[in-house]
Amino acid sequence: MASTSPTFRDLQQQAWEANQALNRAGLVVATFGNASVFSPSEGVFAIKPSGVPYTTLKAEDIVIVDVEGQVVSGSLRPSSDTPTHAVLYRNFEGIQSICHTHSTHAVAWAQALRSIPVYGTTHADHLTVPVPCTPLMSDARIDGDYEIETGNEIVHFFRENHLRAADVQMVLVGGHGPFTWGPTGQKAVYNSVILEEIARMAWLTEQINPDAAPIKEHLISKHWQRKHGKNSYYGQ
Amino acid sequence: MASTSPTFRDLQQQAWEANQALNRAGLVVATFGNASVFSPSEGVFAIKPSGVPYTTLKAEDIVIVDVEGQVVSGSLRPSSDTPTHAVLYRNFEGIQSICHTHSTHAVAWAQALRSIPVYGTTHADHLTVPVPCTPLMSDARIDGDYEIETGNEIVHFFRENHLRAADVQMVLVGGHGPFTWGPTGQKAVYNSVILEEIARMAWLTEQINPDAAPIKEHLISKHWQRKHGKNSYYGQ
Amino acid sequence: MASTSPTFRDLQQQAWEANQALNRAGLVVATFGNASVFSPSEGVFAIKPSGVPYTTLKAEDIVIVDVEGQVVSGSLRPSSDTPTHAVLYRNFEGIQSICHTHSTHAVAWAQALRSIPVYGTTHADHLTVPVPCTPLMSDARIDGDYEIETGNEIVHFFRENHLRAADVQMVLVGGHGPFTWGPTGQKAVYNSVILEEIARMAWLTEQINPDAAPIKEHLISKHWQRKHGKNSYYGQ
Amino acid sequence: MASTSPTFRDLQQQAWEANQALNRAGLVVATFGNASVFSPSEGVFAIKPSGVPYTTLKAEDIVIVDVEGQVVSGSLRPSSDTPTHAVLYRNFEGIQSICHTHSTHAVAWAQALRSIPVYGTTHADHLTVPVPCTPLMSDARIDGDYEIETGNEIVHFFRENHLRAADVQMVLVGGHGPFTWGPTGQKAVYNSVILEEIARMAWLTEQINPDAAPIKEHLISKHWQRKHGKNSYYGQ
């Protein structure tokens, strides 16, 4: 199927919109960051080309790759983080979009090698556990296929800590920065926006009270349930 | 009275404007936050529908509810925080608008479970006491009717600490975030803007001087009096 | 001379521009702050009316007052800080404009009751000494004519510390906020912008290095001389 | 060759664009900062005139000077930092543009007299070592030809620490602020943007984790190689 097929064009358009939304939200500097959108039925995803500025990016520049990260359609080289996206799509069932940014406060937590504690209901509205931060990768992984191993590190961390990608739609890669995902491009971008805000609020919380404690399970659970539980009453 | 009645349309318009002003002021992210406007004579208030983005919100989307929080007019579900607004309107005489935001610095103080000390005249121009922060709610309250209990917690805290809602037009709900109010939508939004700025200045004050002390009563009183006392000489 | 005299209209226009520039620079919130422009030959200055939003302020709203702070022309009440401006114009020779803002970082230093150390050349390009911070006013002064006493406090502090208003064109009023001045409205606004930036940089400097030390006299003097000395070589 | 020669006009245009880009990126306040563009074949560079606001700066205002910093063409006085640029062009082979800003977080590290540790991959994507910070200049250097000595200090520091200007395209001048450079005006401006972001992230990293450690050599090297090594796979 050529890049001019309706399916590919639609994926390109969605991925282009997600990338533009990342830029509008002020989450990326220069050519940093990338968003992709996945079609499970086609087994391909559309991703930003490497090193192209957001302001000049066109929908037809978006590259179509398969779940092994091999280019299926497009004349530009895909994002260097493409193999990481591919690993996540292969392992995290149900996600159809991934964003990677270098947003300032999320990166700061990743560089500090700390998970973000659940300090308030803004956090609990979105996930019931700390935003996970993976440890620095081993030298063996770094020397291996680095971007694939970055994906493996995330998947491994989620499995080991019994986290479900449907519940926890964001992660900090230690020493690097955030990845977020979701069922749509809009939701994945939204999660990047929220993560940056949660990261900023948590930093300030500790500045204002060095003894700040995570809120209790009861309150976390209540906020999560009202937005996501089976009797949720948030939204339309 | 249908939502097409002049009174309801006017309330919807005022509430729409207050919600838009919150968004323009940069105090809300995504669909967070909500503003309402109350008509004491009609016994109803107009409030943002739940989970609707500010950018697509129309005046006719605003929901009319009674002081028990029951929908009187409107096809959308009202904000999940509606019962909290209802409790405040029932208990705080004279207030005709309420705003709830997740503005960054105010939330950080709420998550730090700290009231904001009166560090300067910017604060004293608006209230003579620390911005109150309620304690984390008890498990019983959380398990009960959560949003009603949030309102009860605020009202209880004000009563116990002899605070009058006319004098102290803002509160931090511990672990959650700020609510502000006032005699008009414009004033309630103004109070949300001021609270965020006071919260930011107070954080910075402590960073610059960990031994910073609140300003003395004499100066607090002077600034309050010149803006709000019977011989006030601020404004036109 | 009526407010329609060419001189008054010119003063009003200059003061209006200075006030608008403060707002554009993001140094004021809501109706906070005020700028005035002084005509030594007429013995009057033009100042923002009290409590009027910057966005609706018109040049003809600007009030003309004499150096005792009495209204000479204009139908609105002048800024409540007018007596402070009047004291400074009477005592600081050569200044022809004054700005008062509640800009965030400058207020934070004022609330922290600390002068801002000369941590770098950005500071030294503008003044060779710490940005002075006056102590909290005595109860007697607060109970007296508060705004006049605020001016007296500044003048007294400058005299006692052998500071010349021509050399040090800014001050932090302890517990309150900054005043800046200069030979023109543009320069007074510029000084407010610079002060806010110096205040922000100095805060960050101490965060990054708690043992940060002021730069040495040699470097301070060099930077000041190249911009302001008799052999200055900065600018056109 | 007059300033109307095609070469000079082209250099002026490039330097004008670099200076405008600095301003658009929010890295300069008022008339602070300057960018220059160098033509090795002509032995001249084009630089911002001293003390001219970015908003009124025109391409024909840009001054052409030789590598000794002497004006070759142009009616305005060149930036007071011109001799520093000249020293760098004479000593750092291959660089064709230099930017100097007072960007907030980079200045704060310079004022703190600290090099910026490699806390993450955002840093390692651009340089494999800490962003160097030169010590405060000796009194003898300050009393000498100050701007030339600022250049000498940078060059000396790079030689002593075996840093190559092609690899490390940025420096913090202790107590002063950042200089960045590159093979083009666009790259030099890009480096100023990146440096400010790295400086901000590193400050936050230490705030969030006072025991934060630089990432390990393996990870630094991997990120540098994927962007700049002979088998680089970033970009098109």
Decide: helix, strand or coil at residue D162. Answer: coil
In this prediction, the residues of chain B whose per-residue pLDDT falls under 50 are: 1
C53 DSSP 8-state letter: -
- Give me the torsion for CA of D172, D106, A31, D129, rounded to 10°: 40
Residue among A34, A39, A54 at smallest CA distance from A6: A39
Contact list, C143 vs chain B (CB under 8 Å): 218, 222
Closest residue in B to C136 (Cα) is: B215
Residue B94: what residue type? Answer: G
Nearest CB to A120; choose among B107, B146, B203 = B107
Contact pairs from chain C to chain D, CB under 8 Å: 84
For A205, the token pair is 């919380």
Best B208, B219, B221 residue to mutate vs chain C (most C CBs within 10 Å): B208
Rounded-to-integer distance, Cα D139 and Cα D142, Å = 5
B183 DSSP 8-state letter: S
Q: How far is B48 from chain C (nearest CA, A)?
A: 24
Buried b (16+ CB within 10 A) or exposed e, B138-161: eeebbeeebbbbbbbbbbebbeee
Tell me, yes or no, if A126 comes closer than 8 A to chain D by beta carbon. Answer: no
Q: Which of residues 132-151 of D touch A (CB under 8 A)?
A: none
pLDDT digits (tens, 9 = 90+) for C125-175: 999 999 999 999 999 999 889 999 999 999 999 999 999 999 999 999 999
Report whether D197 contacts D115 (CB < 8 A): no
Phi and psi of C71, rounded to 5°?
-65, 130
Identify the pLDDT of residue C1: 47
Identify the pLDDT of residue B4: 59
For B86, the token pair is 């209802």
Residue among D206, D192, D205 at smallest CA distance from D104: D192
What subunits touch chain B, counting only 3 or more CB pairs under 8 A?
A: A, C
Kindly indicate the confidence band of residue D2, based on its pLDDT and cuts at 50, 70 and 90.
low
Identify the pLDDT of residue A1: 47
Tell me, yes or no, if C102 comes closer than 8 A to chain D by beta carbon. Answer: no
Rounded-to-integer distance, Cα C160 and Cα C141, Å = 17
Report whether B124 contacts B140 (CB < 8 A): no
pLDDT digits (tens, 9 = 90+) for D28-66: 988 889 999 999 999 999 999 999 999 999 999 999 999
Rounded-to-integer distance, Cα C32 and Cα C47, Å = 13
Phi and psi of C204, rounded to 5°?
-65, -35
Residue C47's DSSP bridge partners are C36, C63
Nearest CB to B105; choose among A193, A204, A212 = A204
Contact list, D235 vs chain A (CB under 8 Å): 31, 50-51, 77
Best A84, A111, A119, A141 residue to mutate vs chain D (most D CBs within 10 Å): A111
Q: Which of D125, D139, D143, D211 is catalytic?
A: D125
D74: left (phi over 0), alpha (psi -120 to 50) or beta: left
Best C50, C111, C133 residue to mutate vs chain B (most B CBs within 10 Å): C111
Q: Among this protein's residues, is A54 annotated catalytic? A: no
Residue among C127, C200, C205, C137 at smallest CA distance from C170: C127
Nearest CB to C212; choose among D49, D104, D112 = D112
Closest residue in D to A103 (Cα) is: D201
Residue B119: what residue type? Answer: Y
Q: Among this protein's residues, is A167 annotated catalytic? A: no
Residue among C17, C59, C57 at smallest CA distance from C185: C17
Residue among D172, D187, D152, D154 at smallest CA distance from D35: D187
Phi and psi of A87, rounded to 5°?
-60, -45
Identify the pLDDT of residue A4: 59
Q: How far is A91 from chain D (nearest CA, A)?
A: 25
CB contact under 8 A, C205 and D102: no
Decide: helix, strand or coil at residue C78. Answer: strand
CB contact under 8 A, D204 and A105: yes
CB contact under 8 A, A107 and D201: yes
Identify the pLDDT of residue C233: 82
Q: How far is A219 from chain D (nearest CA, A)?
A: 25
Rounded-to-integer distance, Cα D108 and Cα D195, Å = 12
Identify the pLDDT of residue D228: 84
Decide: helix, strand or coil at residue C188. Answer: helix
Residue among D112, D96, D106, D120 at smallest CA distance from D193: D106
Residue C196: what residue type? Answer: E
CB contact under 8 A, B120 and C105: no
CB contact under 8 A, D208 and A114: yes
Contact list, C207 vs chain B (CB under 8 Å): 207
Q: Based on C-alpha coordinates, what's the Rg of chain D?
A: 18
Closest residue in A to B139 (Cα) is: A218
Q: Which residues lie closer than 8 Å to D165 by C-beta, 6 or more apart?
A: D88, D91, D92, D93, D94, D95, D158, D181
CB contact under 8 A, A50 and D233: yes
Residue B225: what residue type? Answer: Q
Place of tokens 């910093």: D69
Buried b (16+ CB within 10 A) or exposed e, A188-200: bbbbbbbbbbbbb
Residue among D76, D87, D175, D168 at smallest CA distance from D131: D168
Helix axes A82-91, A146-160, angle to 10 degrees: 30
Residue among B105, B77, B85, B80 at smallest CA distance from B45: B85
Place of tokens 């208990």: B91
Contacts 24+ apart (CB under 8 A), A232-235: A233/B50, A233/B77, A233/B80, A234/B50, A234/B51, A234/B80, A235/B31, A235/B50, A235/B51, A235/B77
Q: Tell how far CA C78 is from the center of its chain.
A: 17
Q: Which of A143, A145, A167, A234 is catalytic?
A: A234
Report whether D57 contacts D74 (CB < 8 A): no
Rounded-to-integer distance, Cα D152 and Cα D175, Å = 16
B201 DSSP 8-state letter: H
Other beta carbons less than 10 A from residue D88's beta carbon: 26
Nearest CB to B236; choose among C29, C77, C114 = C77
For B89, the token pair is 């309107």
Dihedral sign, CA of B63, B68, B72, B77? positive
In this prediction, the residues of chain A whose per-residue pLDDT falls under 50 are: 1
pLDDT digits (tens, 9 = 90+) for D172-215: 999 999 999 999 999 999 999 999 999 999 999 999 999 999 99
Residue among B32, C201, D199 at smallest CA distance from A29: D199
Q: Which of B61, B66, B125, B146 is catalytic?
A: B125
Report whether D181 contacts D90 (CB < 8 A): no
Dihedral sign, CA of A67, A69, A70, A76? positive
Identify the pLDDT of residue A224: 83
pLDDT digits (tens, 9 = 90+) for B110-145: 999 999 999 999 999 999 999 999 999 999 999 889
CB contact under 8 A, A122 and B108: no
Decide: helix, strand or coil at residue B148. Answer: helix
Q: Which of residues 166-195 of D touch A (CB under 8 A)?
A: 190, 193-194
pLDDT digits (tens, 9 = 90+) for A153-164: 999 999 999 999
Q: What is the mean pLDDT of residues C45-67?
A: 95
Residue among C76, C72, C75 at smallest CA distance from C86: C72
Place of tokens 């680095």: A146
Q: Based on C-alpha coordinates, what's the Rg of chain B?
A: 18
Rounded-to-integer distance, Cα B218 and Cα D235, Å = 63
CA atoms within 13 A on the CB side of D170: 29
What subunits touch chain C, counting only 3 or more CB pairs under 8 A?
A: B, D
Strand order in the sheet with A170-173: A71-73, A63-66, A44-47, A34-39, A97-100, A177-182, A170-173, A133-134
pTM: 0.96
Place of tokens 């491009």: A185
Phi and psi of D8, rounded to 5°?
-65, -40
DSSP string for residues in chain A: --TTSHHHHHHHHHHHHHHHHHHHTT---TT--EEEEEETTTTEEEEPBTT--TTT--GGGPEEEETTS-EEE-SSPB-TTHHHHHHHHHHSTT--EEEE---HHHHHHHHTT--B---SHHHHTT-SSPBPEEPPPPHHHHHS-HHHHHHHHHHHHHHHTT--TTT--EEEETTTEEEEEESSHHHHHHHHHHHHHHHHHHHHHHHH-TT--PPPHHHHHHHHHHHHSTT--S--
Tell me, yes or no, if D121 comes closer than 8 A to chain A by beta carbon. Answer: yes
